[in-house]
Amino acid sequence: MTKHLLLASFFTACVLQADPSGAVHCGRLLDVRSGTYVADALVVFQNGVVTSVGPASRVSLPAGVTPVDLSGAVCLPGLIDVHDHLTANPEHAGYQSLGISVPRQALTGAANARKTLMAGFTGVRNVGAAGFTDVALRDAINAGDVPGPRMFVSGPPLGITGGHCDEDLLAPEFHFRADGVADGPWAARAKVRENIKYGVDLIKVCASGGVLSKGDLPGAPQYTFEELQAIADEAHKLGRKVAAHAHGTQSIKDSIRAGIDSIEHSSLIDDEGIALAKQHGTYLVFDIYNDDYILKEGLKAGMLPESIEKEKGIGKLQRQNFRHAYLSGTKMAFGTDGGVYPHGDNARQFAIMVEYGMKPLEAIQAATVNAADLVGWAGKAGVVAPGSYADLIAVNGDPLEDVKVLERVRFVMKGGEVYRNEQQPVLAAAGRR
């Protein structure tokens, strides 16, 4: 039997053999809200939801359940990345992207969903995918067809003609427009309605120029305030949040004033933008790890030379502004722009967040309770508590002392299903021998 057939058989077996009840025995369990550990902790769940958690001496096991033994490990909630692109790979950048079909992007997403889950990220907000490939991937994961994190998806991002979220690599005679192009407030409202029609969970909008696009500047405004306001109003009216790609100072402030829920990248935010974010309760999402990858590997991956130059001008400023926004007390959630760097390396951003001012616990909170709050999963994800999803990871070592241990996750459970357990050579559903 080939390796791929063995993996397929394993994942099928996990679904078919899943026991509705189970438990995990942790050496220590991190309460991410308080920053304290529960020693010798037992997490009990049923039908994928935690029913009780606490010291093993005080928690009763259901009859017939044998806990997964993680008594030598530190456990914490599954991590959440709120800015990911599972259907994209870094080597699909620049002109190489023109050879990647929509069906191929969907299959790429299936592979990357597994990598991301195995890295300990049991939740992802996917902000931008062509052809509603992220909607299809979310639905396939939910149906148990492929392994992957919980997904909260935007579908095609909205953008202006010729902007960061249009396609500027083709000659004029192709007359090509990206899926999400909409100019003017009413056209933008119509595009919001169309995306929701086809199953998205949130709206992504490109408010400013970007780094990896051709012919624009990251700091330049693209959508106007009136267009952003129309998009936010229409999305909120239909029960969806909005995420704005906004590197530029003016676009950040326009997006916040328009009522948009999160600012992605936030690279050139100024004091007024920080004050507005605090006033409106807007989340800032700084993808401060991928600067390292772009500058070191970007050209080899096929990124445009002009993109490398743009990153040289903005990467360090973004990190400095991350520090300033953090010290100013803004709300922050963990987002990495996965797909710009290789999927599965999401946790490398924790060390950069700590280097630029955060305490390890605060960086972890950005990827758990804060991320869950932004997505709309508060109380369900990002915590291990009665009523939450049974999403749990484990590491060797103390992440509050060395946050880099999160780069080496050795146990992953999502909804009570164990997908990774380096202590047991044959993985099985939690609670089963």
Mean pLDDT along residues 191-207: 98
Q: What is the pLDDT of residue 313?
A: 95
Longest dimension (CA), the chain: 72
Q: Are residues 68 and 170 in the same domain?
A: no
Res. 218: pLDDT tops 90: yes
pTM of the predicted structure, to 2 decimals: 0.92
Q: What is the pLDDT of residue 278?
A: 98
Residue 379 has pLDDT above 70, yes or no: yes
Range of the domain at 302: 79-346
pLDDT at 169: 84
219 and 329 belong to one structural domain: yes
Question: How high is the pLDDT of residue 427?
Answer: 36
Please check whether residues 69 and 85 belong to one and the same domain. no
Assess if residue 351 is contained within a domain. Answer: no
- Give the CATH number of the domain where residue 403 resides: 2.30.40.10
Give the residue, 426 or 227, on which the prediction is more confident. 227
pLDDT tens-digit profile of 41-99?
999 999 999 999 999 999 999 999 999 999 999 999 999 999 999 999 999 888 888 89
Q: Is 85 found in the same domain as 72? A: no
Contact 170, 163 (CB under 8 A): no
* Residue matched to tokens 């099985």: 428
Residue 357: inside a domain = no
pLDDT tens, 351-363? 999 999 999 999 9
Asked if residue 235 and residue 178 are part of one domain, the reply reads: yes
pLDDT at 208 over 60: yes
Portion of the chain with pLDDT greater than 90, in percent: 88
Q: Reply yes or no on whether the pLDDT at 137 is more than 70.
A: yes
Same structural domain for residues 226 and 162?
Answer: yes
Mean pLDDT of the chain: 93
**430 in any annotated domain:** no
pLDDT value at position 93? 87
Instruction: Write the CATH number for 196.
Output: 3.20.20.140
Higher pLDDT, 363 or 172: 363
Q: Are residues 19 and 121 in the same domain?
A: no
Instruction: Give me the pLDDT at residue 329, please.
Output: 98
Please check whether residue 190 lies inside any domain of the structure: yes
Structure confidence at residue 424 as a pLDDT band (50, 70, 90): low
Is there a domain that residue 395 lies in? yes
pLDDT digits (tens, 9 = 90+) for 311-345: 999 999 999 999 999 999 999 999 999 999 999 99
Q: Is position 61 within any domain?
A: yes
The per-residue pLDDT for 353 is 98
> Is the same domain home to 24 and 58?
yes
H or E stretch at 195:
helix 185-197
Same domain, 102 and 73: no
Confidence of residue 432 (pLDDT cuts 50, 70, 90): very low
pLDDT of res. 14: 43
Domain count within the chain: 2
Predicted local distance difference test score (pLDDT) of residue 96: 87
Does position 428 have pLDDT exceeding 90, yes or no? no
Residues 26, 141, single domain; the answer is no
Work out the pLDDT band at 423, boundaries 50, 70, 90: low
Do 92 and 43 lie in a common domain? no
Tell me, yes or no, whether 427 lies in a domain.
no
> In the prediction, which pLDDT does 19 show?
53
The yes-or-no verdict on residue 188 having pLDDT over 60 is: yes
- Within this chain, do residues 324 and 175 fall inside the same structural domain, yes or no? yes
Last residue of a domain, one of 323, 346, 369: 346
Tell me which of 18-27, 116-125, 346-355 is least confident.
18-27
Q: How confident is the model over 275-304, as pLDDT tens digits? A: 999 999 999 999 999 999 999 999 999 999
Do the domain assignments include residue 378? no
- Round to whole Å and give the CA distance between 163 and 146: 34
pLDDT computed for residue 171 by the predictor: 87
